[in-house]
Amino acid sequence: MRYAVKPKNSANSCMASASYLRVHFKNTREAANALRGMSLRRAKAFLENVKEQKEIVPVTRYRYGVGRHAQCKAWGSVSGRWPKKSAEFLLQLLKNAEANAEAKSLKVDQLVIKHIQANQAPKLRRRTYRAHGRINPYQSCPSHLQVVLVESKKAVPRPTEEAKDRQKKKVSQKKLAAERRNRRD
């Protein structure tokens, strides 16, 4: 398979792809876009949460008829879905990519999703029977998936409570000027 993006350094990256998957393209495209830039561990946890409806996939392009949900506020969006089947297929793809990374002896904890893409596969055609002897098409919209994981250079640790307290609190120029005026008086 030909990938849309080639990593700059193939020694610290791994790839995985899947073709002709019987999963809706539109839902899979939205779920894949939500994963872009996440670490591998976070992406897997996110997809598990989507399956259990604890987190939502924001819908940005194919929004017609998609309901509004409060969980979308975390993404700065209004509408979203919980595409269970798409999440399962994406989880399988990420597990495959993780296995490829282990085979290349990369550090799995430092992997980040650099590129992920869903493409439309050829439609599978069936027919449905309508009133008055007519026949209409009844097509499925399968997907191709590809992902590129890159080993990040350095994982940034989460700051502790003490470190947060030590950081200076930013004060606006207006407040500083008011404090100076109060000192003079």
Between the CA of residue 141 and those of 24, 59, 120, 121, 146, what are the distances in Å?
5, 18, 7, 7, 17
Of residues 149, 155, 151, 147, the one with CA closest to residue 107: 151
C-alpha–C-alpha distance, residues 54 and 143, integer Å = 25
Q: What sign has the CA pseudo-torsion 90, 95, 98, 103?
A: negative
pLDDT in tens, 68-85: 999 999 999 999 999 999
pLDDT at 171: 78
How many helices (DSSP H) and strands (DSSP E) are in the chain? 5, 7
107, HSE (Cβ side, Cα atoms, 13 Å):
8
Answer whether residue 154 shows pLDDT above 90.
no
Average pLDDT, the chain: 92
Count, residues in the chain: 185
Top pLDDT among 158 and 35 is at 35
SS3 118: strand
pLDDT at 155 over 60: no
| Beta-strand pair 57-58/13-21 | unpaired
Please give the average per-residue pLDDT across 46-63, as a whole number: 95
Looking at per-residue pLDDT, the higher value among 52 and 156 belongs to 52
List all residues 6 or more positions away from 117 whose beta carbon is below 8 Å from its beta carbon: 4, 32, 145, 146, 147
Reported confidence tier of residue 28, pLDDT bands at 50, 70, 90: very high
**pLDDT of 104 above 60:** yes
Q: What confidence score (pLDDT) does residue 156 get?
A: 65
